[in-house]
């Protein structure tokens, strides 16, 4: 799954939510005003369930059991020095920790929940968590005495995980139950402690759902106490900010040639809100390959998918579509196929743990090919490829479909990051994220799969319900490249996926030293020069096939079959004289040779 770091300023709704009394439909949101009181009204055993299911790296379903809860936690006691001051700065008001042991009792997980005054404060803290530090840091190990977790100390923390859940942040640290110290050479760390993220997701899911409250009751307040949210920028300001990003990759110039008409881009994602003003009339909705993961009756937010679709094919809104978000290919159509869940959906543990959803992405690819997609965007990824996904990618490429995918958001400054699929499959255009200045974004993964890069920081797009999102990640970067691919496909529909990729590569701007780097690929995509490169490639004609009966020399084709090649020039008269003399000598040689053979045999 994928995971987009989204900071939502939420257009007009955020400002309105703070300045008006909530409607009946918004009563549950008022619970954020008293998040610290949740501990007083919700049993700790409900927050930390007695057992949590998870899936191992061998795809077996197991259960982690709770072995103890700390009854006297605070924000300060739950965190170590790497996060304690940061949590205090963001207003952490309550903390709670519990220890879990895996089914084999060989791994220990300390889970922690931190409460903040508002979702915005929680999000601010969450962005600062150093998840990739080693040894793991952040949450203090609990080490409940007299339990399998007793030996798990801070020095034994091998891995960490975290997830944002409304006004809460759920964290975990993991290690061996034998208390062995963290060792950077322990190559089994990822496979042994992968369940940490699944346990975090299980605890986070119910916390992300606001409690049902009665507005004005003695127990809960209805007005969120938070830093004032300024009125959102006028709708007219969204377009200038959007266009500034599009100019970075040459899109306005490309619109003089094409705006993507006649091309369908399949967005394999969390679903698209078809009522979004900037996308009205652009979207066809396909099947939901995640059906059954979320609880019955739950309506998915479709946040990530709507955002991605708007970057590709948003057409703007308002009078004459002069306002809102316009995508790279505003005349292209979107085929939305839901294959993953947004991070906040309660069905994530089921989706990640149930084998029914292993091939969801691959099924989405097959569906997109069968229903007219000419470009497939996958702003998603996993480090665990499947044969089914690979086969689906191969099938789509064979059918002439351009496939674009995000390179992943787990990059560091230390270099190589693990491959993410489908981006790492050959033939897929893997996209890294860069800043407005063209430098690799700190989170963008570095590896040999990266082909090109595109803006991935402070990218404005649509959210569901008329909201606007300001987001960062390789997800928006991939969407922008899919939009450029749609422009190429619109102008040159017969250009093969390999040649579309060549056009993007040869036309890339801000090329790195040496021509290629694992951080930004061959450089930053440029729509104008990519269309020019595509024009040159489309004009080229492959050499005529060479007939099997033809000869390689021009002279033979012009004058018929060539005469035998004379290798040595010979004096035939001299040869005749020498032949006679050689005949007599040859007889003597043959006799001598015969005697020699006999003598040799006798010596044996």
Let me know: does 358 contact 289? Beta carbons within 8 Å.
no
530: left (phi over 0), alpha (psi -120 to 50) or beta: alpha
Q: Which residues does residue 377 pair with via DSSP β-bridges, in sequence order?
A: 267, 404
Catalytic residue flag (residue 315):
no
Phi, psi of 108 (to 5 degrees): -120, 140
- Among the residue ranges 155-164, 219-228, 518-527, the one predicted with the least confidence is 219-228
What pLDDT is attached to residue 567? 57
Mean pLDDT on 524-547? 83
Task: Give the C-alpha distances (Å, rounded to integers) separating 79 from 10, 67, 286, 494, 528.
Answer: 31, 20, 45, 58, 50
CA 478 to CA 189: how far, in whole Å? 30
Pairing state of beta strands 429-434 and 402-406? parallel
Q: Which of 76, 92, 81, 107 is nearest to 172 (CA)?
A: 107
- Among the residue ranges 86-90, 153-157, 342-346, 587-591, the one predicted with the least confidence is 587-591
Let me know: does 137 contact 130? Beta carbons within 8 Å.
yes
138: left (phi over 0), alpha (psi -120 to 50) or beta: left
Mean pLDDT on 30-42? 54
Q: Is the pTM of this model over 0.85?
A: no
CA 414 to CA 273: how far, in whole Å? 38
More confident residue, 490 or 560: 490
Catalytic residue flag (residue 604):
no
More confident residue, 166 or 253: 253
Tokens of 252: 């306005």
Residue whose tokens read 């915005």: 120
What pLDDT is attached to residue 284? 97
CA 471, 13, 128, 155 torsion-angle sign: negative
Q: Which of 73, 102, 194, 269 is catalytic?
A: 269
Parse the chain into domains and list their residue ranges. 22-207, 239-539
The class (CATH top level) of 239-539 is alpha beta
Residues 283-336: tens digit of each pLDDT: 999 999 999 999 999 999 999 999 999 999 999 887 667 788 999 999 999 999
Cis peptide before 135 (omega within 30 of 0): yes
What pLDDT is attached to residue 302? 96
Residues 231-248: tens digit of each pLDDT: 333 455 557 778 888 999
Phi, psi of 498 (to 5 degrees): -65, -40
Beta strands in 70-118 (DSSP E): 94-101, 107-115
Residues 65-100: tens digit of each pLDDT: 998 888 778 889 999 988 999 999 998 888 889 999
More confident residue, 50 or 186: 50
Task: Give the C-alpha distances (Å, rounded to integers) separating 206 from 124, 215, 353, 385.
Answer: 21, 21, 17, 30
* DSSP 3-state of 379: coil
Q: Which of 73, 90, 177, 304 is catalytic?
A: 304
Mean pLDDT on 435-460? 93
Instruction: Give the total residue count for the chain.
Output: 604
Q: What percent of the chain has pLDDT over 90?
A: 50
CA 577 to CA 572: how far, in whole Å? 9
Give residues with Cβ within 8 angstroms of 482, minimum separation 6. 265, 312, 328, 375, 376, 377, 404
Q: Which of 475, 482, 490, 526 is catalytic?
A: 475
What pLDDT is attached to residue 530? 97
What does the DSSP assignment read for 11-47?
A: HHHHHHHHHSPPPGGGGGGGGGGGGGGHHHHS-HHHH
CA 603 to CA 349: how far, in whole Å? 87
204: left (phi over 0), alpha (psi -120 to 50) or beta: alpha
Residues 566-585: tens digit of each pLDDT: 455 455 555 455 444 444 33
What pLDDT is attached to residue 109? 94
Let me know: does 276 contact 312? Beta carbons within 8 Å.
no
Let me know: does 201 contact 183? Beta carbons within 8 Å.
no
What pLDDT is attached to residue 116? 87
């Amino acid at each position: 799954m994928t995971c987009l770091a989204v900071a939502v300023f939420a257009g007009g709704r955020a400002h309105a939510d703070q300045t008006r009394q909530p409607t009946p439909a918004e009563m549950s949101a008022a619970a954020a005003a008293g998040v610290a009181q949740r501990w007083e009204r919700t049993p700790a055993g409900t927050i930390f369930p007695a057992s949590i299911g998870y899936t191992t790296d061998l795809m077996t379903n197991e259960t982690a059991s709770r072995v103890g809860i700390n009854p006297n936690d605070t924000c300060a006691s739950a965190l170590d020095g790497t996060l304690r001051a940061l949590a205090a700065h963001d207003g952490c008001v309550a903390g709670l920790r519990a220890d879990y042991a895996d089914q084999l009792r060989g791994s220990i997980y300390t889970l922690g929940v931190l409460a903040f005054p508002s979702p915005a404060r929680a999000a601010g803290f969450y962005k600062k968590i150093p998840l990739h530090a080693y040894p793991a840091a952040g949450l203090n190990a609990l080490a409940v005495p007299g339990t399998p977790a007793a030996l798990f100390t801070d020095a034994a923390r091998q891995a960490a995980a975290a997830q944002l859940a409304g006004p809460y942040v759920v964290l975990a640290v993991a290690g061996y139950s034998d208390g062995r110290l963290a060792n950077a050479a322990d190559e089994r760390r990822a496979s042994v402690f992968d369940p940490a993220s699944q346990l975090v997701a299980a605890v986070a899911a119910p916390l992300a759902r606001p409690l049902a409250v009665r507005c004005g009751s003695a127990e809960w307040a209805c007005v969120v106490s938070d830093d004032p949210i300024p009125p959102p920028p006028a709708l007219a300001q969204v377009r200038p900010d959007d266009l500034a990003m599009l100019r970075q990759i040459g899109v306005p110039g490309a619109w003089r040639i094409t705006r993507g008409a006649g091309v369908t881009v399949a967005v394999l994602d969390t679903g698209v809100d078809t009522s979004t003003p900037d996308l009205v009339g652009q979207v066809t909705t396909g099947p939901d390959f995640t059906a059954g993961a979320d609880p019955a009756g739950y309506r998915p937010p479709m946040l990530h998918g709507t955002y991605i679709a708007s970057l590709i094919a948003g057409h703007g809104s308002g009078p004459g579509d002069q306002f809102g978000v316009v995508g790279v290919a505003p005349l292209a159509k979107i085929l939305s196929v839901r294959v993953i869940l947004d991070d906040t959906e309660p069905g994530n543990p089921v989706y990640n743990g149930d084998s029914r959803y292993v091939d969801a992405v691959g099924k989405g690819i097959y569906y997109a090919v069968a229903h007219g997609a000419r470009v497939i965007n996958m702003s998603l990824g996993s480090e665990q490829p499947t044969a089914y996904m690979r086969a689906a990618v191969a099938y789509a490429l064979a059918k002439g479909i351009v496939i674009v995918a995000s390179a992943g958001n787990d990059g560091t400054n230390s270099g190589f990051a693990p491959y993410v699929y489908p981006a790492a499959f050959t033939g897929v255009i893997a996209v890294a994220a860069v800043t407005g200045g063209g430098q690799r974004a700190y989170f963008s993964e570095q590896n040999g799969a990266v082909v090109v890069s595109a803006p991935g920081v402070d990218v404005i797009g649509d959210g569901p319900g008329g909201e606007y999102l300001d987001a960062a990640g390789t997800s928006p970067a991939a969407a922008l490249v899919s939009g450029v691919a749609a422009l190429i496909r619109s102008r040159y529909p017969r250009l093969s996926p390999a040649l579309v990729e060549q056009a993007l590569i040869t036309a890339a701007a801000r090329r790195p030293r040496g021509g290629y780097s694992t951080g930004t690929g061959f450089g930053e995509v440029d729509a104008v020069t990519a269309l020019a490169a595509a024009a040159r490639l489309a004009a080229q004609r492959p050499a005529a096939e060479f007939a099997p009966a033809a000869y390689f020399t021009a002279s033979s084709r012009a004058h018929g079959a060539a005469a035998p090649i004379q290798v040595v020039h010979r004096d035939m008269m001299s040869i005749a004289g020498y032949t006679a003399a050689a005949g007599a000598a040859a007889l003597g040689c043959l006799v001598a040779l015969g005697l020699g053979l006999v003598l040799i045999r006798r010596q044996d």
